[in-house]
Structure 1
Amino acid sequence: MTERYQDLIDKNIFGGEPLRVDMQVNAAELPAYATVETVDPVAFDGFEEVLFQPETKRKQRYTVTDLAKPNHVLKLCFETDTLQRKTNDSLAGTHPLALELVRPSYGQAHYLKIEVAADSHVELVFFEKESAVSNPEDGGKPAVFLEATVGERAVLDVVYIHPLYLENSGRRNYLTIKDSTTFLYHGKVSGSGKFRWTSINIGDSLVEKGRVDLLAPYARADIGGAAYIPKGCEHFYQYQVRCLTPKARAFVQSHGVVDDGGSGHMVSIADIEKGAHGAKVREENRFITLGKNARAFTDPTLLIDEYDVEASHAATVGQMDEDAMFYLQSRGLTPEQAKRLVTSGFLMPLIDRIPQNELRNQLAN
């Protein structure tokens, strides 16, 4: 990395100080838009549907009961009045908000609830910070739960960046499969609202599953993910968008690079339910592999129960272009440099989704 995340925060490209999301929260120290609530058992159990694998060819490994249960809910509520005021403890309308989320370990979980009021536009950037890994005997699997509600004509643009190793020491110590975190998110979008999600994971083993419900006409979902999967690591991504209303719009795009000895899975489901005429959905899942022991699987699914819709998907798994590698090495690059350049180019369409120029450039480097 050319610069640490803190350097970006110091440059004031974010709306004030980052909000730290840790296991212990002092409600008195929270900004105006944040409050602490108790966990609603019904809402928590609803994440079972997010974790569920509908219409896929692979067995579900565990359920919500196997995950650690959060102690509280951190609620972030954004309204137009708050967004128009630039204060020391609230989000400015022209700046994204940075959140430092301390990665949970066994027996630990985060639960965030985000509400964006009608006609508001919010950009959130989550920086997941590494933490010590505990023993499985300490409790359920580490997990992050995120619930988002987007009002009419509102926009919620979330960038979630998993740890980039290691900012301080320069070492790389990726989470193994047995220590992986499960990340579940559930979005609900009202009429003409938009939920935009971009996930960047360069390393850690991870299970990430999301579901977005489009509840009213012209509600939109734009889901993207970029992943580099090194040796000994496994990523599992599942994106599900449910079109429950006429003229809903959904786009899913994910690119992954699997190094020799790594394993990657991408599942996407677009569900156009009865009555959702005029809906438009597109799914694109693409992997490249960097060795004979790299494993990659894509599984796009369209579930259509209505006429007069537009729905399509594309899925590719291919090896690195040997001609491109030869050309780059003939120009003086080492094999490792050539591989990094090809990897960067393949992931760049997803990196380009990040709206913050400085952050986008840092990740590109």
Structure 2
Amino acid sequence: MVLQTIETIDPAFITSFAEKTAEPSWLTDLRIKAWGKAEEMDLPYVDKTKIKRWNFTKFSQYASFGKTAYGTNLPEAVTDVVDVNDAEMSVYIQQDQTPLHLHLSQEAIDKGVIIKDLATALKENSELVKEYFMTTAVKFDENRLTAFHAALVNGGLFIYVPKNVELESPIQAVFVQKDDRKPFINHVIIVADESSKLTYVENYVGQTGKGRAIANIVSEVIAKDNATVTYGAVDTLGVNVTTYLNRRGHVLRDASLDWALGVMNNGNTVINHLTNLVGNNSSSDVKTVTVGTGKQTQNFTTEIRQYGLASVGMILKHGVVLDSSTSIFNGIGHIMHNAKGADAQQESRVLMLSDLARGDANPILLIDEDEVTAGHAASVGRVDPEALFYLQSRGLSLYEAERLVIHGFLNPVVDQLPIKRVRELLSNVIEGKVKR
């Protein structure tokens, strides 16, 4: 099998699939420019993890945006995580590059909310997508993997909530990766216009075979003045998938963006999560949990940069490492110059349940202004033996006691997911990972 690499792809290759999908010329031009950057740029810097030998860019076949296949029978994995018969909720489902299902709630229709697969949005709302696609939250030329993403993006979702629109019902998206031959390069854009409100929850589901596979995922969330965005996610990509996951937020005056993320991928994963609090009185609360198993390595860099006066940034990360897995938590709270009255807090805790497992928690506070508040807490350790002894004295086995402690340790994030069915999914994923 011949693998495509950065060196074997040229502008003609990109133009050929761009023409097939009749995408706007501005995107094709951006793809070609990004590919030139991908050839010359380095991988992103990842503290305490050597990723140069990881496969982020090699694949055997390429697939561009897939044509919609609405009405197709949905994979069983999808019906486990979303109720497609719930008419009050807007739902989008995609397998590999193909959109399989899109339902807009009557509320979303009545209030003029745009929810479209990315390929359709590029055709029907080209100028609106162009305004936000890798221009604000994520730039295409940040590193080799963002450039690779911009050049070959082949799936995703676009959401726009107009000014003064508050959505009561949530939006849920399910992205299934099934074909391990093709790169899974997915892009989500959420724009909450002034004084709007929405709740969005996504699931990444892995159903790949045994072949080596890659996933390159970028999410951009723009919260304009006085907007409120709640973003939840549960990621469960396969053990054979090397994943680059980049979630970004850009938050303006009096706006808030809260994240509740269950990163439960089974393969090697690099996570870059940055929220820019640009406006005065902006805020973001980032909660992340993970369970590492097998031989996988996961590296999490979570950063909140605070530019606005009286901005508030909160980071909480809890991880459990089993077997011979590794989880690295890098937390960065950065209060920029002139951000007086800002508050940056973070907590990173790792629970190790194996002698071969490795966990690191690295809190960093960068303070470039006076008259601010900042603090951090970090710990790496094993389950408290006194807690286990107490639980066993109440009649629980050692396994049951450890299981109870793990669920309690991770519940601060599980409970924050805004859809009951997704909370249950994350609890079940955790349960499956800790069974030994």
Following superposition of structure 1 onto structure 2, how do residues 1-365 of structure 1 map, counting pairs within 5 Å? 6=79, 9-10=82-83, 15-16=88-89, 18-25=91-98, 32-34=114-116, 35-37=120-122, 43=135, 46=139, 49=142, 63-65=145-147, 69-71=152-154, 74-80=157-163, 83=166, 93-103=167-177, 105=180, 107-133=183-209, 135-136=211-212, 141-163=214-236, 175-176=239-240, 179-205=241-267, 206-361=269-424, 363-364=426-427
- Matched residue type, 1:116: A
2:321 touches 2:352 (CA, 8 Å); kept in 1? Answer: yes
Query: Percent same amino acid at aligned positions?
Result: 24
The 1:5/1:156 distance shift into structure 2, 3 A limit, reads same
Structure 2 unpaired stretches of 5+: 1-75, 105-113, 429-436
Structure 1 contact 47–184 (Cα < 8 Å) conserved:
no
8 Å CA contact 1:14, 1:97 repeated in 2: no
Whether the 8 Å contact between 2:159 and 2:191 is mirrored in structure 1 is yes
Counterpart of 2:375, as a letter, is S
Do the aligned partners of 2:262 and 2:426 also contact (CA within 8 Å) in 1? no
Query: 1:199 deviation in Å?
Result: 0.9
Larger Rg: 2
Find the aligned partners of 2:320 and 2:252 in 1 and give their Cα distance. Answer: 34
Determine helix, strand or coil for the equivalent of 1:324: helix
Task: Check the 8 A contact 1:184/1:209 in 2, yes or no.
Answer: yes
Say if 1:203 and 1:233, in contact at 8 Å, map to a contact too.
no
Q: Which moved more, 1:141-150 or 1:95-104?
A: 95-104
Aligned-partner Cα distance in 1 for 2:84–2:155? 32
1:224 Cα deviation after fit: 0.9
- Distance in 1 between residues matched to 2:322 and 2:282, nearest whole Å: 37
Q: Structure 1: which 5+ runs fail to align?
A: 52-61, 84-92, 165-173
Whether the 8 Å contact between 2:292 and 2:322 is mirrored in structure 1 is yes
In structure 2, the CA distance between the partners of 1:265 and 1:7, relative to structure 1 (3 Å rule), is closer
TM-score by length of 1: 0.79
Residues in 2 aligned to 1:26 and 1:298: alpha-carbon distance in whole angstroms: 39
CA RMSD of aligned residues (A): 3.2
**Shift in Å, 1:320:** 1.2
Q: 1:336 and 1:47 mapped to 2: Cα distance?
A: 47
Judge which range, 187-196 or 123-132, deviates more: 123-132
> What is the letter of the counterpart of residue 352 of structure 1?
D
Q: What do the CA deviations read for 1:312-346 (whole angstroms, capped 9, x no partner)?
A: 11111011112222333343333322221111011
TM-score if structure 2 supplies the norm length?
0.67
Give the paired residue count.
329
Offset of residue 262 of structure 1: 1.4
Aligned to 1:169: none
